[in-house]
Structure 1
C-alpha cells in the first residue's frame, strides 16, 4: 500500500525538536495562497477538525489532515513534507525557529493509484 504523505529526514529533525517542546503534534495542509498553502504544524487538538477535513495519513507520529475540497484537487498527488529556511507568516510551530515546512509533490504513478492508503473522513475510511 502506498502512502499519500511522507516526510524528509531534515523535516523529521525539526519535528523532533518541536515534539520535545510541545508534545503531540499534527499537520493541516491549508488551502490558502502564499504562506497559507504551507502545511501548518500545530499541537494536537489546537485546530478543531470537522466534516470538511480528511485524514491523509501519519508522518513521524503526527496525523496529517487536509480540507476535503482541497483533497479533491490533490487526490492524485503524493505529498512530501520538507523544511526550508525562512520565516513564514502562519501559526505553525516551526516559524520562530527561522524555518518553515513546505510541501513537495508529484503525481502518483498508475501502479500507486491502484494501491493507495485510504483516507479517513470523520470516522470512515474511504478509498
Structure 2
C-alpha cells in the first residue's frame, strides 16, 4: 500500500514510523478538520466497529495508562499549509497483538460507527497492516 503521510514515532526509543495515512485518508481528514477542528484517532480491540480506527475531535476520547501513543501526523491543507498535529492512539491490549505491524489508515465507502466523525460522509476509516521489516 502506498503511503501519503507517515506519522512521527512517539514510542520512546523508536525511530521508525508505525502508522501512516493513505492519500484518501489525508483528503478526508482535511475535510473533517475543516468541520470539526483538530482531530485524533483511537484504535481499540474487539469486533465489528471496535476494530476500526475511530476518529474524534481531539480530546473527545479520553486516553490514559491503557493506551499507547503510536505516532503523530503533521497534517497540512492541500496547499501544504499546516493544519496541526493529529495523534494516533491504540489500546495497550490491541498493541500487544499488533506490535510487529506497520499500520496504514485508509478509507472505503460505507458507514462505520456513528461515533467516528467520518460516519456522516458515507465513508469509513479502516486499517491495512503489514509486518514491519
Higher RCO (C-alpha 8 Å, min separation 6) = 1
Across the two proteins, how many residue pairs are aligned to each other? 109
Q: Structure 1: how far apart are the matches of 2:127 and 2:57?
A: 19
User: Are 2:37 and 1:20 aligned?
Assistant: no
Structure 1 regions of 5+ residues with no counterpart?
Answer: 110-127
Structure 2 regions of 5+ residues with no counterpart?
Answer: 1-14, 76-84
TM-score, normalisation: structure 2: 0.79
Bigger share in helix: 1
User: Are 2:84 and 1:70 aligned?
Assistant: no
What per-residue deviation string (whole Å, max 9, x for no partner) do you get for residues 26-60 of structure 1? 00001120121000000000011111001000133
TM-score, normalisation: structure 1: 0.82
Q: Secondary structure at the match of 2:33?
A: helix
2:119 aligned residue: 95
Q: Structure 1: how far apart are the matches of 2:106 and 2:37?
A: 20
